[in-house]
A and B are shown apart, each in its own frame.
Chain A
């Protein structure tokens, strides 16, 4: 697992796909390759209201990545400093083994170069002290990026705030 975590607040996500476009634009990718994607689930009626979910699917930067261990050329790698899983284009021969291996569909095919693209948490931006493209530009600001330990904090606070009920509180 990389030491980072990319948190999506699904309550404020509007499924607009700006993140997908930003990611592609930042990496200058052709039609087809989508290092991250928003998958819409629903609408479904829940307690009399129509609800939709938009699930943000980048790469999860696994601790023991299937893609890295199967890549025959060593193109797919895990960065030692922070655990980011990325593909070295120079070494990629386009054999697609990683595409078959990843359970989440993260590695993507670039039909123009005949090589694989994937979410690398925008490591060039991180190294320049910036946030990933999708996080910087998300329309509603529902994506946050940081160290995994800080992100769990965000999530807890978020959940506590959502579930606190002052009306029924004994205080």
Chain B
């Protein structure tokens, strides 16, 4: 029987709306949802490989219980009944012996996140943590310090921008379909693109201005830009005087950060810095300094993110067309959001989190996401207490937390590791039990609440029956919960029940999604009145001088610390990033994607390579203080001589994922686990490596 289903892609976490055609019970075709403006049928390469992923027989096909050593790859097949009992028995044991807080759950946040959070809350453990901090912990903290809103509550209005500045935000290779299409349309209408990155990317090739910045010095550049903007009064004086708290302090602070000073630090000519400040201010407020992801990722990242956001505020581009805006929820359009399981009453939890986020030891990172990279330290040092079990749901701590050897050591101390995933990820391979999840094409999922200028709800709907013996994550957790006596927190038998429960009181039903795949709360874009902006900081203003930081004992404007250059000729700063073909660590084994890109290479500057005797495509050894490995060199003029670069997500260790097994090198293996102790992000670019030919 043929049918068409509207759903949501999940080849990456963006979750673009899709339309799926099913023929004789098989997925025949997937396209971007043509009803969604800005998608109009398009899919990115990963989304295009959805069918290739679905019909790949190298995914996990049934529950598995480890029989050999951890990581040895010896498994036995188990029924769901047996696997759930196995996990529940052990969790119960651990809970009884050492307390529920010794059970942690990590996750790449997704639609059923409210289920995993509810699971832990019901169990009595505070130890939920997500991938978020790894990606943007300090962005989140910076947003809260300035606006009182998290980064997830801020959006970017690409479509009407006149000038966008991207700091290593490789927007045309790290793809989200709508973002790419809207920005491309703005560029076609004449918007300017300034791109700053130690490496030439596809995005650099589309830019009107490209600066090969000295790696790590984005903050120096920003202080100089701010210096020029304040000195030459290029800012939006009306907006700044009404809404900014602390501009005078900022002016004093940047006094000595002149463009000439920044030129020495960044390698960007002073005249060009001045030119950008002058040029972009002509287009304000429809300008964007992009604050999210990548760019210099260092131990003082919080200040780099704050400086970017301050530039937006100076341009008056906050809550402005073509600038950045605050996302509007259903309430703003007179509607109600879908219910979440976490809104139930749970027993009170007295124990602190393992990462101490939100306590005086680590006050600023968002406890809703936790700080993933602290996990290995917490386990190894039993600080604040011993942790005994980890459930890894769609997140791979081995490949995404820096210093894999250390993470493994921590995992070795655990009595139980359970993975819920569709793939043989490295953490699945290192687990005691793998509970395979049905893919996004084989499952109905929880409601996607899409806040934005026009609040909407989307639904992921099952297109075909699961091909293997897999279940939905929300059902897996419910079934474990039932065995642990917390089943009543999961008031559903099927995903359809759960969605119906979520929709109760919203005025919408599942049938409303059938026509276009989504429902909208209103039809107009909602921008707040710029005379009455509801900032949620104590001063009700944008806090350049931040009470969040200062109350926690940190400075709002600490002196700039010069960025170290590599000390020896064979040493480099390791920089990592993404390509258009793969999603983080999860798609390297998908047949069509693997065919296009099966391994990563080490980008190294031509001159440096020449001096070290490194030839293009030849194997080199890369070593840091915590690990080393082999990788092929890619010799190019298009990377700064102080940096080497590799794509994230290669060098997999799971043997049954045959195409990606042992291909390329994992960045996490050689990155040191150091992080921004204020904002919460890992300092992925603070590792120096030595490179030698083999």
Q: Which residues of A contact B (CB under 8 A)?
A: 11-12, 14-18, 20-22, 24-26, 31-32, 42-43, 49-52, 136-141
Contacts and interface: CB of A to CB of B under 8 A. Distances in A.
Contacts of A17: 45, 580-581, 596
B253 interface: no
Contacts of B47: 18
B171 to A, nearest CB: 9
Contacts of B31: 136-137
Interface stretch (B198-206, B477-485, B557-565, B614-622): B198-206
Interface in B10-35: 29, 31-32
A22 B43 contact: yes
Nearest to B188: A12
18 contacts: A11-B188, A14-B172, A15-B202, A15-B580, A16-B175, A16-B581, A20-B45, A20-B596, A22-B48, A25-B51, A25-B592, A43-B205, A49-B210, A50-B204, A136-B31, A137-B41, A139-B177, A141-B40
Given A14-B172, A14-B180, A21-B48, A138 B42 contact: yes
B181 interface: yes
B638 interface: yes
B43 A139 contact: yes
B181 A141 contact: yes
Across the A-B interface, give the 6 residue pairs with the lowest CB-CB distance, nearest first.
A16-B580, A52-B205, A21-B48, A18-B45, A14-B172, A50-B200
Contacts of A24: 592
Nearest to B638: A43
B591 A31 contact: yes
Contacts of B29: 26
Given A17-B580, A50-B204, 14 more contacts: A11-B188, A14-B202, A15-B202, A16-B173, A16-B580, A18-B42, A20-B45, A21-B45, A21-B49, A21-B593, A43-B204, A49-B207, A139-B43, A140-B180
B374 to A, nearest CB: 35
Contact of B596 (A21, A51, A52): A21
B196 to A, nearest CB: 13
B498 interface: no
Interface residues of B, number: 39
A104 B638 CA distance: 30
A137 B42 contact: yes
Interface in B154-190: 172-173, 175, 177, 180-181, 184, 188
B120 to A, nearest CB: 37
A43 B199 CA distance: 11
A35 to B, nearest CB: 13
B181 A16 contact: no
A49 B194 CA distance: 11
B65 interface: no
B249 interface: no
Nearest to A29: B592
Contacts of B596: 17, 20-21
Nearest to B41: A136
A16 B48 CA distance: 11
Contacts of B207: 49
B561 to A, nearest CB: 30
A50 B41 CA distance: 30
A26 B177 CA distance: 20
Nearest to A131: B41
A9 to B, nearest CB: 9
B45 A140 contact: no
Contacts of B181: 139-141
B405 to A, nearest CB: 34
A42 B200 CA distance: 11
A12 B204 CA distance: 13
Given A43-B205, A49-B210, A137 B43 contact: yes
Contacts of B52: 21, 25
B87 interface: no
Chain A contact residues: helix, strand, loop or mixed: mixed
B211 to A, nearest CB: 11
B595 A31 contact: yes
A31 B209 CA distance: 39
Contacts of A25: 48-49, 51-52, 592
Nearest to A52: B205
A12 B49 CA distance: 22
B44 interface: yes
B363 to A, nearest CB: 41
A95 B610 CA distance: 46
B205 A139 contact: no
A88 B222 CA distance: 61
Contacts of B173: 14, 16
A22 B43 CA distance: 9
Contacts of B592: 21, 24-25
Contact of A140 (B184, B581, B638): B184
A50 B638 contact: yes
A141 to B, nearest CB: 6
Given A25-B592, A49-B207, A136-B41, A43 B200 contact: yes
Contacts of B188: 11-12
Nearest to B597: A17
Interface in B593-618: 593, 595-596
Contacts of B172: 14, 16
Contacts of B204: 43, 50
A137 B180 contact: no
Contacts of A51: 205
A18 B16 CA distance: 15
B638 A14 contact: no
B180 A139 contact: yes
Contacts of B591: 31
A139 B206 CA distance: 15
Contacts of B638: 43, 50
A26 B173 CA distance: 23
Contacts of A43: 200, 204-205, 638
A111 B205 CA distance: 36
A17 B172 CA distance: 12
A92 B278 CA distance: 64
A50 B210 contact: yes
A136 B208 CA distance: 29
Interface string B572-593: 0000000011000000000111
A26 B30 CA distance: 9
Contacts of A21: 45, 48-49, 52, 592-593, 596
A14 B41 contact: no
A139 B44 contact: yes
A54 to B, nearest CB: 8
Nearest to B636: A43
